[in-house]
Copies of this chain bind each other. A is one copy, B any other.
Amino acid sequence: MDYYSEKLQTLIQELSRLPGIGSKTAQRLAFHIVSEPAESAERLASAIADARHSVRYCKRCCTLTDQDLCPICSSPSRDQSTIMVVEHPQDLAAYEKTGKYNGLYHVLHGAISPEMGIGPGDIRLAELMKRLQTEEAVKEVIIATNSSLEGETTAMYISKLIKPAGIKVSRIASGVPVGGDLEYIDEVTLLRALEGRVEL
């Protein structure tokens, strides 16, 4: 990349380290950034530095936030009796977008994967167990880890851990997505949908 001047090269290199950003996209973004008004580039640079500098785990649900407690954990209007367990903050966001879930969350930041060497101690599971001991209002834990091998393993593990405490544990349904065309859906999903059939 000797044909680019040094600072452009540095910017392209830094951008291409981001996930899903290849070298062509990094070039396109870099040229966009340096061609914009200076204030736009400065706003982006300081948004990055600010967010990274202030981000921490919510003391209650472990999602990423810039306060001690995230907006959901600190909201008095959320139902304190239900905790939905998800793998990542983005999964929390996906359920929030539905606008239909009003309980709390717990973010594991990963899933158990023996293959990848990720055990129960590598995700935020101890924090969940501690919450169940201290938050007396909790009546149900909804496990919403992904429908992958790792997600299912994690769901089984958590379920076995929590059930003895007498707290209800549920798992989000797995099946044919709404609008999905049976013809194009994989066999495992089709079998899940069959097993999980509901009487009408």
Which of the 9-residue segments A50-58, A116-124, A149-157, A175-183 touches chain B?
A50-58
Q: Which residues of B contact A65 (CB under 8 A)?
A: 4-5, 8
A64 to B36, CA, bound (A): 12
Q: Which residues of B contact A185 (CB under 8 A)?
A: none
| Residue of A13, A30, A42, A70 with most partner-chain B CB within 10 A | A30
A41 to B51, CA, bound (A): 9
User: Which listed residue, B7, B10, B25, B43, touches A14 by the CB 8 Å rule?
Assistant: B43
User: Which listed residue, B20, B72, B92, touches A25 by the CB 8 Å rule?
Assistant: B20
5 more A-B residue pairs beyond the given contacts A33-B48, A41-B52, A45-B48, with a C-beta to C-beta distance below 8 A? A15-B44, A20-B28, A20-B29, A35-B64, A41-B48
Closest residue on chain B to residue A27 by CB atoms: B90
Tell whether A170 is near chain B: CB-to-CB under 8 Å.
no
B51 and A3 form a contact (CB under 8 A): no
Nearest 7 pairs of A and B residues by beta carbon: A41-B52, A11-B51, A5-B65, A3-B96, A34-B55, A45-B49, A14-B47
B71 and A31 form a contact (CB under 8 A): no
Q: Which residues of B contact A53 (CB under 8 A)?
A: 38
